[in-house]
């Protein structure tokens, strides 16, 4: 297993598959690097696919210092993986927590991002729900600390935005639950506190987002109520951003509709390569 060590001493597990133009996949809170299996199986035929497990997600290191977890750290970790792979610039694809990371890569390190696919991004971002979402993240962190991942999975894994996966692909949903149940209780709790609950509001970043010139494709499910409003705001704010709303889909679009998701990303990458993106 390849590892790289971050500047604060955390071991990050990463791997690569295939060859060609590099694509970095960044996973959501409820998943890990395995959540991108359908995409890696598809894109590795023509691309060099990079994927890593975020800090707090074994086999990556699980620091116990709360200060080791933040949105900035998540971005720095993604850059560390690109550095370890010797990649100057890559297409970045992220879902949910990974979508936030992809956006912040566009803001902080645009020179490293060839394009960004931002899926399922926006939970808790709207000012009307920000305080409620923060309280929910902190409460969930307490549950991970006190009860462990298996107990949390029993209801978190069946939340409304995750139900479309169960309806469409029961076996895929069962695999998703297995991944959830394997979360490290310390890593999950500290990720919720330091990344999810403390990240800056997307609505507070609109001036910076309006200056983004990286090609961006936004993907959201029409049943992912917690991400819809923020995704529409991003579409109106990021110059030239494209939007794909997947019908009868929830929070896990890449797993619910892998063929459609892959086709959308592939067409987007082709347009970027051909210079058809116009900010």
Note the pLDDT tens digit of each residue in 63-101: 999 999 999 999 999 999 999 999 999 999 999 999 999
Tokens at 108, concatenated:
């902080």
pLDDT of residue 279: 78
pLDDT of residue 215: 98
pLDDT of residue 1: 60
* Cβ-based neighbours of 61, under 8 Å, separated by 6 or more: 10, 11, 12, 55
Which residues does residue 221 pair with via DSSP β-bridges, in sequence order? 246
Note whether 244 and 217 are within 8 A (CB). Answer: yes
* Cβ-based neighbours of 199, under 8 Å, separated by 6 or more: 70, 71, 100
- pTM, rounded to two decimals: 0.97
Cα separation, 53 vs 172, whole angstroms: 20
Enumerate the H helices of the chain as residue ranges.
37-43, 71-84, 97-108, 130-147, 149-156, 163-168, 170-181, 185-191, 206-209, 225-237, 253-256, 258-273
Note whether 1 and 59 are within 8 A (CB). Answer: yes
Note the pLDDT tens digit of each residue in 19-58: 999 999 999 999 999 999 999 999 999 999 999 999 999 9
Cα separation, 265 vs 141, whole angstroms: 33
Q: What is the mean pLDDT of the chain?
A: 97
* Cβ-based neighbours of 276, under 8 Å, separated by 6 or more: none
Note the pLDDT tens digit of each residue in 185-216: 999 999 999 999 999 999 999 999 999 999 99
Decide if pLDDT at 169 tops 90: yes
User: How confident is the model over 160-184, as a mean pLDDT?
Assistant: 97
Note the pLDDT tens digit of each residue in 104-161: 999 999 999 999 999 999 998 999 999 999 999 999 999 999 999 999 999 999 999 9
Note whether 54 and 8 are within 8 A (CB). Answer: no
pLDDT of residue 9: 98
ω into residue 59 within 30 of 0, thus cis? yes
pLDDT-based confidence at residue 277 (cuts at 50, 70, 90): confident
The domain 3-273 is placed in CATH, from the list 3.20.20.70, 3.40.47.10, 3.40.630.30, 3.40.50.1820, at: 3.40.50.1820
């Amino acid at each position: 297993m390849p590892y790289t060590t971050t500047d604060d001493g955390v071991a990050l597990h990463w791997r690569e598959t295939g060859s060609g133009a590099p694509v970095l996949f960044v996973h959501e809170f409820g998943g890990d690097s395995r959540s991108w299996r359908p995409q890696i199986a598809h894109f590795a035929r023509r691309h060099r696919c990079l994927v890593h497990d975020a800090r707090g997600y074994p086999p990556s290191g699980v620091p116990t210092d709360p200060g080791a977890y933040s949105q900035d750290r998540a971005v720095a970790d993604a850059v560390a993986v690109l550095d370890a792979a010797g990649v100057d610039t890559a297409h970045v694809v992220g879902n949910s927590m990974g979508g936030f990371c992809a956006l912040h890569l566009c803001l902080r390190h645009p020179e490293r991002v060839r394009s960004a696919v931002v899926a399922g991004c926006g939970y808790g971002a709207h000012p009307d729900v920000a305080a409620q979402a923060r309280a929910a993240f902190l409460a969930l962190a307490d549950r991970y600390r006190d009860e462990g991942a298996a107990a949390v999975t029993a209801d978190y894994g069946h939340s409304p935005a995750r139900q479309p996966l169960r309806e469409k692909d029961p076996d895929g949903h069962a695999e998703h639950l297995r991944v959830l149940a394997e979360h490290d209780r310390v890593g999950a709790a500290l990720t919720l506190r330091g990344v999810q609950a403390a990240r800056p509001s997307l609505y507070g970043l609109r001036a910076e987002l309006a200056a983004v010139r990286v090609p961006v494709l936004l993907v959201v499910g029409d049943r992912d109520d917690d991400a819809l409003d923020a995704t529409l705001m991003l579409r109106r704010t990021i110059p030239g951003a494209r939007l794909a709303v997947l019908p009868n889909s929830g929070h896990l679009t890449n797993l619910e509709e892998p063929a459609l998701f892959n086709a959308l990303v592939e067409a987007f990458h082709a347009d970027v390569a051909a210079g058809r993106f116009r900010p």
